Amino acid sequence: MSNASNLLSQLRRPRLLVRAARFGLVDYNRDRDLKKLMKSTFTPSPEHAVDGLLEEEARLEDTRRAGDAGYSVSRHVEVLIALMAEMRLLPQKGLHG
pLDDT tens digits, one per residue of 16-74: 999 999 999 999 999 999 999 999 999 999 999 999 999 999 999 999 999 999 999 99
Residue 62 counted as domain residue: yes
Q: Write down the pLDDT at residue 95.
A: 54
Residue 10 counted as domain residue: yes
Residue 35 counted as domain residue: yes
Mean pLDDT calculated for residue range 81-89: 94
Please name the helix (run of DSSP H) or strand (run of DSSP E) that holds residue 75, with its range, or none.
helix 73-89
How many Cα atoms are found within 13 Å in the side-chain-facing hemisphere of 46?
14
> In whole angstroms, what is the distance from residue 34 CA to residue 28 CA?
9
Residue 73 counted as domain residue: yes
Q: Write down the pLDDT at residue 19.
A: 93
Q: Write down the pLDDT at residue 6.
A: 61
Residue 60 counted as domain residue: yes
The beta strands (E) that lie in the chain are given as none
Q: Whole domain around residue 51: which residue ranges?
A: 4-89
pTM above 0.95, yes or no: no
Please name the helix (run of DSSP H) or strand (run of DSSP E) that holds residue 56, with its range, or none.
helix 46-66
C-alpha distance across the termini of the chain, in Å: 20
| Domain total in the chain | 1
